[in-house]
Chains A and B, each alone.
Chain A
């Protein structure tokens, strides 16, 4: 479903951000991307939604190759991805409901089905009661739920989350993380970049740890026999090195 092969990324003037990155993500898997700030987590996620292309190597997402994909193909791919950021990226001048709706309107989904889809997504994140609130009237956790609803509204096969709990307090973090687990349990793959070690330690999900742009640990590699198709399996996790 997702495969990176010997990927390297060099930013102009900034040097090598990633090198020798190879891993695959299965359908329905939950994967943590961890590592200190600047280790390349965001860059990997960007390459998964083809916001950046590798300098060498190949990224394959649902049959779309970073080597050959054109603008149109990338747009089509993104309609099947959900993307969530640390800073929510909501439009301040629109209600929660309008923010979710926006994602459907701009890809030409027929008006007649938009309402039902938006409602279902808001139900899924438990925010139906806040549908008419503006982002500034919502807590951080609620804003992130709106962003997640927007990411889910088009039924993605994978949710890419870049430090989704980075701006949230302890309690909101737990809530949002539980929501991501629920989403994963219902069949959507989740790739979550985070440096919240507690979160990583307390769950049994696959963990890929980066340092200086290289994979220094992949729990699926260290215990290949434990890989399984349902929900990422029960790979034993080495405690990530403290940084």
Chain B
């Protein structure tokens, strides 16, 4: 049909600007992609270390074993808790010696207190949950001190948040530039076809019919930009994998979503511009 035949007229009039539009969309999504990759991998890392997340409560000297078992039974019934283990002074010492290797001698019996190890259920290992469990354990009188990996858990979470914010910010900035550049391409195309468009409208073509070729133009650019971004991100990921550390890539749904986002940016840029410039014809 005519709309299809007229497709890409905008791009043909301004090939350089059009290419720039595609590349900017690609950069926008690339920024999202890179930081998304960071976020995803941190999440994966968190999941892995979270398997080991435990809360350790150190027992005061001379705590009666009966009170400890009663408490362990209580704690074992917390909804967040998977398992509770008892670590005696001797076991703590043996473990420390094993970990320290050659410095094993610095530990003497009785230096390390006995403790209970509380393992949390999968999915209930966020810093907030961990902290709340730790706080509850702290309330037992015979618990001297509670330790959990608060620092690094929180650090990882913070890193992920920074990656998300930076990625979103940079991505949005590029997306805005992409919308502007695509808008400028459309503007040139609309003005170049002003006479044709004014005749179309005089003989009764609908607004949608007049806009359609421009919208399709934007859509095609957006899809191209999305694919290009996927390619960039994939190469970046492969490079990191090869030389630095093992990472996971987006699943197909996320890749599809990314390309869709590109299409959206392209159509949006066209839509805004064509609406504004048609009014002036």
Question: Which A residues are CB-close (under 8 A) to B199?
Answer: 89, 91, 102-103
A229 part of interface (Cβ distance < 8 Å): no
From B196, B198, B204, give the contact of A75 (CB < 8 A). B204
From A49, A75, A103, A105, give the contact of B206 (CB < 8 A). A75
Instruction: Convert B38-69 into 0s and 1s, putting 1 for each residue whose CB lies closer than 8 angstroms to a CB of A.
Output: 00000000000000000000000000000000
Interface hits, B189-247 → A, CB 8 Å: 195-196, 198-207, 209
Instruction: Convert A83-124 into 0s and 1s, putting 1 for each residue whose CB lies closer than 8 angstroms to a CB of B.
Output: 100000101000000000011011110000000000000000
Question: Which B residues are CB-close (under 8 A) to A105?
Answer: 2
In the complex, the answer to whether B202 meets A107 with C-beta atoms within 8 Å is no
Q: How far is the CA of A71 from the CA of B203 in the complex (A)?
A: 13
Closest Cβ of chain B to A49, distance in Å, is 7
Number of cross-chain contacts by CB at 8 Å:
49
Chain A minimum-CB-distance residue to B5: A105
Chain B minimum-CB-distance residue to A147: B199
From A89, A91, A102, A107, give the contact of B204 (CB < 8 A). A107
From A51, A72, A78, give the contact of B203 (CB < 8 A). A78
Interface hits, A18-59 → B, CB 8 Å: 49, 51
Tally of chain B residues near chain A (CB < 8 A): 14
Q: How far is the CA of A79 from the CA of B205 in the complex (A)?
A: 8
In the complex, the answer to whether A77 meets B204 with C-beta atoms within 8 Å is yes
Chain B minimum-CB-distance residue to A89: B199
Q: How far is the CA of A75 from the CA of B201 in the complex (A)?
A: 7
Query: Given the known A-B contacts A75-B207, A76-B204, A154-B203, are A106 and B195 also in contact in the complex, defined by CB atoms under 8 Å?
Result: no
List the interface of chain A (C-beta within 8 A of B). 49, 51, 71-72, 75-81, 83, 89, 91, 102-103, 105-108, 150, 154
List the interface of chain B (C-beta within 8 A of A). 2, 195-196, 198-207, 209
Contacts A89-B202, A154-B204 known; list 6 others, CB within 8 Å.
Answer: A77-B204, A78-B202, A89-B195, A105-B2, A106-B2, A106-B203
Q: List 17 A-B contacts (CB under 8 A).
A: A49-B202, A71-B206, A71-B207, A72-B207, A76-B204, A78-B202, A78-B204, A89-B195, A89-B198, A89-B199, A102-B199, A106-B200, A106-B205, A107-B204, A107-B209, A108-B209, A154-B203
